[in-house]
Chain A
Amino acid sequence: MDFSLNFIKQFVDIKSSAQELAKLLTSAGLEIENLEKTADDWVFSAEVTTNRYDWLSIIGIAQEVAAVSGKKINLKYPRTKTTPKIEKKKIIINNLEDCPYYLGRTIKKTKVGQSPEWLKKLLINCKIASVNNIVDATNYCMLKWGNPLHAFDLDKIEGDICIRRAKDKENFIGIDQKQRTLTPENLVVADSKKVIALAGVMGAKNTEVTADTKNIFLEAAKFSPTTVRRSRRGVGLDTESSYRFERRVSELCLEYASGEAVDLILKLAKGEFGGYKKVGRKTEEKPKQITISLTKMKNYLGTDFRLPEVKKILNSLNCKVKKVSADKIKVKPALSRFDLAREVDVYEEFARIYGYNKIKAKLPFVIKDLKKNPVLDKEENSWKFKNKIRDFVALLGFSEIITYSMENRKELAIITKERGLSLRNPLRSQENSLRPRLSLGMIKSIKHNLNRGKEDLTFFEIADIYKKKSKNKVKESSFLSLGVTGDKERFFQLKGAVWEVLSYLNIKPAVSENTMASFSNSLELKAEGKIIGFMAKLDQKVKNKFGLKEDLFISELDLDLLEQLKKGKKFRSFSKFPAVWRDISLAIDKNIKFRKISKIIEEGSQYLSDLKIVDTYQGKNLPKDHFGFTLRLFYQSSQKTLNSDQVDIYHNQIREKLHDKKGIILR
């Protein structure tokens, strides 16, 4: 809400500077976001909270200014003309929920023209453009009282006036010249033939007041906040009028706003009063009395004050205060203050004028009373668990990424058969589904970086995935995804990281090769019979579909399961004696999995402590379809230093076992 300081000064005597006033209003809850000097005035831009519809009017703000500066407001209520009645036109409200109350007044033989300078200036300083004397008069009264008004060209209204919902696909051209197609979500004001206004939002071009207009129909109404909001959002409009109707308008001021507008039009555009008609009825009840205990209020705010202070502040806000006992008072809120309904509302009214910043900051505390509770423990443990995993994976050289929880349904289908959970109202089709797997976010972040010349990426993410369990149930669980790009050797870095994580949690996985859609190669990981995750290489087709410049290896692990399966650790003693190594060179048939060889070796000697590949080769010297490498085997005892002869014996036993196997050639 933008307002002019001169406008406010019509109703309250202000001594302080504009800057001081802005500060006072801000600390009372009417935040002045911007202050702008004009030739002889100040323009205030205020952020009005949704509960204070009364601050969308000059008189409401003047009341607040009076309260914060200890002044009284000076306001005269106009006498309004209610006779003669409008006889020729019926006003019909289809649904009183949409429009409980509607006032019409007519003015005849007006002369439309420019507004006088004082009015133009006042409107401009409230950031409203001057149109002509009729429209300006309605805007002036809207600003003053908070009730939006609309002036129609009476001669262009055909037949009776009806407030009804729009028909589906009904057309509307507003005074902004734009054409819009309406739905029954829009409330309209219509005559017997056409829509003449989008109720509470904007008038129609067809009945606009122009230079030729002679006779005026002036609308003042109360429209349902929800109806106006949905209506204007549906057509993508946001006007001074809808802004006020959405917050609610005062029934009390409706008559004054309409009546004063007539007087002003008669003054500025001559003419004569035509008639008056009201339809519907007032629905507002008067605000109720609230009983307050001063002791409770002090305890609630955590500060000390005396009754006269409370009385003075509440009176300045037009609330009546009656003392009932030493500790209790009865508060009767101002008629416009429907937001004051409970004790706590009064506490706030007092506190905001008293000054939030006068209340001392104290540390409580309940800490000493806080009890252990299994619900809280479970939640906090899972938070701690995820933090540890995050720290640990970062320690392994991975960079954490954070990607959107929603993805496009079709893109998700490329990487998983599992269906995402659809959003009923997606913002855009790129994100119309909650993800059942983290990989897609990983792929996109990898792509972003590869396209910018980065290579050999190692990323991870910890986030939730979502699965539809039945037609009205969802399962949300936490997952860890790891992504590594580069040549095929890089897969083993991913594998190493996964092994590190599992070993950190003391979980021994069972591994098996499986097939997964969109992955050319994959390993499934199980622990205690449950699937805990996978490691896989992204398919070439998928890689090309997403335009990745490097191969991508992905692993996903179920963190909720890992948290359940993790085991505590205790110290394990290690050998004090040195390990001795022997190399062994092999050529193996390409169809034999390395796992088969390592199994033979591992089972070959109780002293085998480690095994690694020190050299690999391919070439002419090897039989067809064979692959060569040198393994280094480490032997170690926890009891003694193994001597060379002993190690040779163990090593030869392993060599012999390997020698016996088909497809393995010792070299």
Chain B
Amino acid sequence: MAEEIKNIKESFKKDLEKAENKDSLENLKVKYLGRKSKISQLFSNIPNLAKQERGHWGKELNILKNKISSAIKEKLSKEVQKEEKIDLTYPAKYPQKGSIHILSSVTKEICLIFKELGFNVIEGNEVEDEWHNFSALNIPLDHPSRDAFDTFYLDLDKKDKKSGSWLLRSHTSPSQIRIMQQVDPPLAVISPGRVYRPDVVDATHSFMFYQIEGFVVGQDISFSHLKGVLLYFARQFFSQEVQLRFRPHFFPFTEPSAEVDVSCVICSQKNKQKNKERCPVCKGKGWLEILGCGMIHPNVLEACNIDSKKYQGFAFGMGVDRIIMQKYQINDIRLFYENDKNFLKQFPL
């Protein structure tokens, strides 16, 4: 019996070494622990042994069986672990993802910042008339912006004499005029959308582009509120660190008027003095022009039947395309309207 056990042990040791995969280990189980295995045969031989030896060899056989069983198990579990390892360095498989155009997503982002302050979003129509696009905004009849060089006119008859010709809005202001005509102050409105001007297309011009304008009218709205609202916007949109610079400017529809620069979001005004490495975005000036604004001209309020002695307010407007080009260093406006997949996928949301 001792001899037999020893043989089993040795042959198992060899077999175990040779067994290199799950299947051969499973075969070992059958060979050494199965119903037809040597150990089974030895077990069935035990009754034939001398009575005093039966207990001893029974124990020995059980120990052997357990040892074999746990050796197989151990190696098997190692094998299983080994087999399940896959090469994780293979390239990823991407799900088919959709995307939202950067002009849409940034427009929404900006509107939501103003909504936090209580502004209402209104889009209005792109087809407008001369009165809403110009006259109501204190833009005189002979103003250059009314020329066919600067505004697209539609081949339609006039609605009536006051409205003048049909046109494609050259800014989103006419949509705001319509609100001022219909809703009593106080008002806080933000209006995003497409606008059109007959500019020859090049890297920085497009005859269609996106604009966001806003206005607030109330009894005590002042220039300092205009500054407060725009600073809030700039810090939410660019970063908490940015500064604004207000430069006096001229617009027919606001007085006082200003152009607003934001401290360069790319170089943080750091290479202002270093002429060697001029910031490619602000060209070393440290400031980027982002919007125009001012206190709404009393003529505009009056055109909308709002009493300019009682109410005052401010308005502002910005080009979305331009702000995105500055923020993301995009050098050609045509990329927005070409819809190249390589461009779209860079800004998914």
- A462 neighbours in B (Cβ, 8 Å): 104
A108 to chain B, nearest CB (A): 40
What residues of chain A lie closer than 8 Å to B312, measured between beta carbons?
Answer: 300
Contact with B along A318-361 (1 / 0, CB 8 A): 00000000000000000000000010110110011000110111
Provide the residues of chain A in CB contact with B108, threshold 8 Å. 387
Binary interface encoding of chain A residues 365-403 relative to chain B, with 1 for a CB under 8 A from any of its CBs, else 0: 111011101011001101110010011011111111111
Chain B interface, >50% SS class: mixed
Cα(A586)–Cα(B189), bound, Å: 61
Q: In chain B, what residue has the closest Cβ to A227?
A: B142
B residues less than 8 Å from A246 (CB atoms): 144
Count of inter-chain pairs, beta carbons less than 8 A: 265
Chain B residue contacts of A94, Cβ below 8 A: none
Q: Which residues of B contact A463 (CB under 8 A)?
A: 194
Is there contact, CB below 8 Å, between A425 and B198? yes
Interface residues of B in 129-176 (CB under 8 A from A): 142, 144, 147-149, 152-159, 165-166, 168
Instruction: Indicate with 1 or 0, residue by residue over B213-253, a CB within 8 angstroms of chain A CB atoms.
Output: 00010101111110111111000000000001111111000
Q: Tell me if B10 counts as interface (CB < 8 A to partner A).
A: no
| A445: contacting residue among B154, B258, B339, CB under 8 A | B339
Residues of B within 8 A of A342 (CB): 255, 298
Q: B residues within 8 A CB of A402?
A: 101, 103-104, 336-337, 339
**A421: Cβ under 8 A from any B Cβ:** yes
In chain A, positions 165-187 with a C-beta closer than 8 Å to chain B are: none
The answer to whether the Cβ of A545 comes within 8 Å of any Cβ in the partner chain is: no
A474 to chain B, nearest CB (A): 5
Contact of B247 among A303, A348, A356, A376 (CB under 8 A): A356
Per the 8 Å Cβ criterion, residues 20-43 of A in contact with B are 26-29, 31
Q: Quick check: A425 and B246 within 8 Å, CB to CB?
A: no
Which one, B14-22, B28-36, B114-122, is touching chain A?
B114-122
Would B208 and A406 count as touching, CB distance under 8 A? yes
- The CA of A360 and the CA of B156, in the complex, are separated in Å by 48
Q: Is the CB of A366 within 8 A of B118?
A: yes
With contacts A344-B255, A379-B122, A397-B96 taken as known, whether A50 is within 8 angstroms of B218 at the C-beta atoms is no
Q: Which residues on the A side are within 8 Å of B256 (C-beta)?
A: 301, 344, 347-348, 351-352, 356
Docked CA distance A27–B250 (Å):
13
A512 at the interface (CB under 8 A from B): no
Within 8 Å of chain A (Cβ to Cβ): is B340? yes
User: Which residue of B has the minimal Cβ distance to A27?
Assistant: B247
- Given A364-B216, A364-B221, A387-B108, verify A472-B183 contact (CB < 8 Å): no
Given contacts A303-B222, A366-B118, 16 further A-B contacts (CB under 8 A): A31-B249, A342-B298, A344-B256, A347-B255, A361-B228, A362-B227, A367-B118, A369-B186, A373-B183, A394-B99, A400-B100, A402-B103, A403-B337, A426-B152, A445-B338, A476-B125
30 A-B residue pairs with CB within 8 Å: A27-B245, A27-B247, A27-B248, A301-B256, A302-B225, A303-B222, A344-B255, A348-B256, A351-B256, A361-B228, A361-B244, A364-B218, A364-B220, A370-B187, A373-B183, A383-B122, A397-B97, A399-B341, A400-B98, A401-B344, A402-B104, A402-B337, A403-B339, A405-B126, A405-B196, A423-B168, A425-B198, A448-B338, A472-B157, A474-B127
